[in-house]
């Protein structure tokens, strides 16, 4: 039996075993079954026994069957029926968080279709100059700028990676050179950090926000999320820059002929064409609309849909549906929808609360102060996150559990919304291994640096990041009234 088949069989038997076990005290039948499906999902996500898109299909199918053959809820009412279970299993597709994710993937695909991202990146490189430290800084700045225009961490990493490689090849350097490693490690470390402060900058953010809204009824605007997270993201970027420029010994302080290379690349692109100008104009309007949501009351999801509509519209648009559809990762959209459905059902059935009570609650965390609860969250997320190779799957599995725990905590008046937002930040920057997320795997796959070289930088980044995170908790986020 090969490794993947072993893990798949283990996942299925674990799920069936939990479903067939006697009733769990304090947990409903449907809650027990949803929890069993979560166990299946976590095992296949961690082991990668099956592809992520197929795991999404399996999760939806299992949810329909498990809930369809569960009691309807009223004594003597019989089974719910698979037909009635379908809306619950597909609820992720109507979730506001999924809408923003889907629209963001289309926006990223449209930008990549026009090539505007390459012009922006090269312009930033030209502005910052050709000293090696400045180039590292320019890549970090480019990643942060792209967070507003390309609402996908993975897409941002995929955009900047070939630009960095192009610079290496133009200089005729070996991919294993210190300069090459520095460029690709910069992309690997800054990709996730760039998504911390922009609600639309990382697909995990709107998913977290939607889970919080389901539980607390509180919504967070694009501007609010920016105020909460961007200062923290900037500090983390400064830490990353410091580590990259101090811990890596690059063979030269200034790139020979670097400015000429960037200039020639820009000249090869020619003047900005009509499509690029349209995309840039619509994206600027979109960002302004996101930031001014408190005044015009149109939510970020609706704004994103309207933006995609304008970019694909006849006459005023920049491309056609058939061109963009090829570039959109439908598997990612499917995985997010399935993950959201699973997370919502964990909360709705009480399974998330039950798991929280019987895990962290069993060791007395439910009675701790908010500060100690957050420290416990950070430690738990730090270790559990290493088991996942996708921040998407980690978010779907962990955020509902965090919310369930906060609901079960005995500490009065917990700021559940704020604590969950802050805890979700650890999911983004807490990656110790290249395999922990697609955005780090893209630069890692270029064969410029080794895993141990990434770990050498990621360990101090994460440890310093946790200290900064804790400092923000007791100062900035407390001053804002978030916690």
Q: What is the pLDDT of residue 74?
A: 45
CB-CB contact of 182 with 136 (8 Å): yes
- Residue 438 corresponds to which tokens in the numbers above? 């697609």
Q: Does residue 165 come out as left (phi exceeding 0), alpha (psi in the -120 to 50 range) or beta?
A: alpha
Burial of 39 (0-12, 13-18, 19+ CB in 10 A): middle
Distance CA 400, CA 38 (A): 11
Structure tokens at 29: 């039948």
DSSP assignment of 240-279 = HHHHHHHH---S-SB-TTHHHHHHHHHHHH-S--HHHHHH
How far is the C-alpha of 265 from the C-alpha of 252, rounded, in Å?
22
CA 37 – CA 321 distance, rounded (Å):
35
Rounded to whole angstroms, the Cα distance separating 126 from 136 reads 12
What is the distance between the alpha carbons of residues 394 and 422, in angstroms, rounded to a whole number? 15
pLDDT in tens, 393-407: 788 888 888 888 888
Cα-trace Rg, the chain? 23
pLDDT of residue 362: 59
- DSSP assignment of 419-467 equals HHHHHHHHHHH---SGGG-HHHHHHHTTTSS-HHHHHHHHHHHHHHHHH
For 103, 159, 289, 321, the CA distances from 282, given in Å and listed in that order, are 14, 20, 10, 17
Residue 468 φ then ψ, to 5°: -65, -45
Per-residue confidence band for 77, with pLDDT thresholds at 50, 70 and 90: very low
Mean pLDDT of 327-356: 85
Q: Which residue has tokens 């990656």? A: 431
The total of other beta-carbon atoms located within 10 Å of residue 247's CB is 13
Distance of CA 58 to the CA centre of its chain: 22
User: Which is more confident, 396 or 363?
Assistant: 396
Q: Name which of 195, 194, 200, 424 is nearest 300 in CA terms.
A: 200
**Of 379, 383, 431, 376, residue with least CA distance to 405:** 376
Per residue in 241-272, pLDDT (tens digit) is 999 999 988 877 877 777 777 888 888 888 88
pLDDT digits (tens, 9 = 90+) for 432-482: 778 777 788 888 888 888 888 998 999 999 999 999 999 999 999 999 999
Q: What is the pLDDT of residue 226?
A: 96
Among the ranges given (67-71, 116-120, 211-215, 356-360), the one the predictor scored with the smallest mean pLDDT: 356-360
Length of the chain, please?
Answer: 483
Q: What is the pLDDT of residue 189?
A: 92
Q: How far apart are CA 327 and CA 110, in angstroms?
A: 8
- For residue 73 the two structure tokens come to 């809820």
Give dist(CA 456, CA 207) in Å, integer.
31
- Choice between 36 and 152, residue whose per-residue pLDDT is larger: 36
- Give the Cα separation of 393 and 340 in Å (integer): 10
| CA pair distance 480, 287, nearest whole angstrom | 23
Q: What is the pLDDT of residue 366?
A: 65
> Which among 190-194, 229-233, 344-348, 479-483 has the top mean pLDDT?
229-233
Residue 128 predicted with pLDDT over 90: no
State whether residue 131 is helix, strand or coil.
strand
What's the token pair of residue 416? 């559940």
pLDDT of amino acid 73 = 57
Q: Are 150 and 159 in contact (CB under 8 A)?
A: yes
The residue assigned the tokens 């609600």 is: 199
Residue 152, exposed/middle/buried by CB under 10 A (0-12, 13-18, 19+)?
buried
What is the chain's mean pLDDT, rounded?
Answer: 86
| C-alpha count within 13 angstroms, C-beta hemisphere, residue 464 | 16
Average pLDDT over every residue of 299-305: 88
Is pLDDT of 385 > 80?
no
pLDDT in tens, 101-111: 888 888 888 88
Can you tell me the mean pLDDT for 221-230? 95
Per-residue model confidence (pLDDT) at position 412: 78
d(CA 356, CA 347): 11
Q: What is the DSSP string of 147-195?
A: HHH---HHHHHHHHHHHHHHHHHHTT--TTSHHHHHHHHHHHHHHHHTT
Query: 347 or 360: which carries more pLDDT confidence?
Result: 347
What pTM was estimated for this model as a whole? 0.84
Q: What is the mean pLDDT of residues 380-386?
A: 78
Tokens standing for 56?
């999404």
For residue 71, which phi and psi values (nearest 5 degrees)?
Answer: -55, 145
Q: Which two tokens stand for residue 288?
A: 């302004």
83/119 Cα distance (integer angstroms) = 50
Per-residue tokens: 150: 């390309």
Which of these ranges, 21-25, 63-67, 124-128, 383-387, has the smallest mean pLDDT? Answer: 383-387
Q: What's residue 76's pLDDT?
A: 41
Mean pLDDT of 355-377: 76
By percentage, how much of the chain surpasses pLDDT 90? 32
* Percentage of the residues of the chain whose pLDDT score is greater than 70: 96
pLDDT of residue 1: 57
CB of 414 closer than 8 Å to CB of 460: no
Given a cut of 80, whether residue 207 has pLDDT beyond it is yes
In Å, the largest CA–CA distance within the chain is 80
């Amino acid at each position: 039996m090969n490794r993947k088949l072993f893990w798949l069989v283990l996942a299925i038997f674990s799920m069936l075993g939990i479903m067939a076990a006697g009733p769990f005290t304090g947990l409903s039948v449907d809650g027990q079954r949803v929890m069993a499906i979560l166990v299946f999902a976590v095992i296949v996500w961690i082991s990668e026994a099956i592809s992520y898109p197929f795991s999404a299909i399996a999760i939806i199918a299992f949810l329909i069957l498990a809930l369809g053959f569960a009691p309807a809820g009223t004594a003597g009412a019989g089974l719910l029926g698979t037909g009635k279970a379908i809306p619950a299993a597909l609820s992720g597709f109507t979730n506001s968080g999924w809408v923003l994710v889907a629209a963001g993937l289309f926006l990223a695909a449209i930008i990549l279709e026009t090539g505007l991202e390459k012009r922006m990146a090269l312009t930033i490189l030209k502005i910052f100059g050709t000293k090696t430290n400045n180039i590292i800084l320019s890549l970090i700045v480019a990643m942060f700028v792209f967070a507003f225009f390309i609402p996908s961490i993975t897409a941002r990493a995929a955009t900047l990676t070939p630009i960095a490689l192009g610079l290496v090849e133009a200089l005729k350097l070996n991919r294993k050179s210190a300069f090459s490693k520095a460029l690709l490690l910069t992309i690997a470390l800054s990709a996730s950090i760039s998504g911390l402060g922009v609600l639309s900058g990382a697909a995990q953010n709107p998913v977290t926000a939607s889970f919080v809204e389901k539980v607390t009824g509180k919504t967070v605007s694009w501007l609010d999320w920016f105020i909460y997270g961007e200062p923290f993201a900037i500090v983390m970027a400064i830490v990353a820059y410091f580590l990259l420029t101090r811990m890596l010994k690059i063979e030269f302080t200034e790139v020979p002929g670097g400015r000429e290379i960037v200039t020639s690349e820009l000249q090869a692109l020619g003047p900005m064409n009509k499509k690029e100008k349209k995309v840039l104009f619509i994206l600027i309007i979109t960002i302004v609309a996101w930031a001014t949501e408190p005044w015009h009351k149109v939510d970020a999801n609706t704004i994103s849909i309207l933006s995609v509509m304008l970019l694909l519209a006849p006459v005023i648009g920049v491309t056609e549906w058939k061109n963009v559809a090829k570039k959109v990762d439908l598997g990612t959209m499917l995985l997010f929808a399935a993950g959201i459905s699973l997370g919502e059902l964990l909360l709705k059935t009480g399974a998330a609360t039950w798991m929280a009570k019987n895990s962290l609650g069993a060791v007395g965390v439910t009675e701790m102060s908010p500060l100690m609860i957050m420290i416990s969250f950070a430690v738990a997320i730090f270790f559990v996150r290493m088991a996942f190779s996708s921040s998407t799957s980690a978010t779907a599995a962990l955020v509902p559990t965090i919310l369930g725990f906060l609901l079960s905590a005995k500490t009065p008046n917990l700021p559940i919304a704020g604590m969950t937002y802050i805890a979700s930040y650890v999911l983004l920057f807490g990656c110790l291994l290249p395999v922990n997320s697609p955005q780090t795997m893209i630069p890692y796959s270029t064969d410029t640096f080794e895993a141990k070289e990434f770990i050498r930088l990621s360990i101090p980044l994460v440890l310093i990041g946790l200290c900064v995170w804790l400092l923000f908790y007791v100062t900035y986020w407390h001053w804002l009234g978030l916690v």
